[in-house]
Amino acid sequence: MKPDGSVHSATALAFPAAQAQTAEQRIQEVLSHVRYKGWSLKIAPMGLGASCFRLWVELPTHCVNTGMPALLMSGEVVVNGTASEDEILRTCLKQILSTEEHEAREHFLYKGVRVFDPHRPVVQSGS
């Protein structure tokens, strides 16, 4: 019986209106509302029953060496399953900025040379 004297519905007790979202669903919900240049933000659990998730950016681009279409997959960062919406959004922005920096380093030329190539050291060993 409820405090007001009315009776709980057996159906309402057996089938709550909405089940609580899992951490993955909650993070995915936040990511579904983020828009940036047609890029995609992806997550995956870090293991079975994980409370932490890997987050990365995927974007269509062109290989700077061949000019062929390519799918860039950024490095990954960790998002805790208990992260707030604000923390998730800040992590997404940080990952996007890091990916933009990667792209800038690939396209930054000095005297026709990619001097900050993110795939090579700035200074070669023994130089």
Confidence (pLDDT) at 21: 82
Residue with the bigger pLDDT between 57 and 2: it is 57
Task: Choose among 61, 59, 69: nearest CA to 39.
Answer: 59
Q: Where are the domains of the chain?
A: 20-107
The amino acid occupying position 10 is A
Confidence (pLDDT) at 19: 57
Predicted structure pTM score: 0.76
How far apart CA 90 and CA 85 sit, in angstroms, is 9
Q: Between vectors from CA 79 to CA 99 and to CA 106, what angle results, nearest 5°? A: 10
Tokens 């709550």 belong to 16
pLDDT class for 121, splitting at 50, 70, 90? Answer: confident
- Evaluate whether 83 touches 91 at the Cβ level (below 8 Å): yes
* Residue 10 burial (CB count, 10 A): 8
Confidence (pLDDT) at 61: 92
pLDDT in tens, 50-78: 789 999 999 999 988 899 999 999 999 99
The dihedral formed by the CA atoms of 21, 26, 29 and 34, expressed in degrees to the nearest 10? 170
- Evaluate whether 89 touches 30 at the Cβ level (below 8 Å): yes
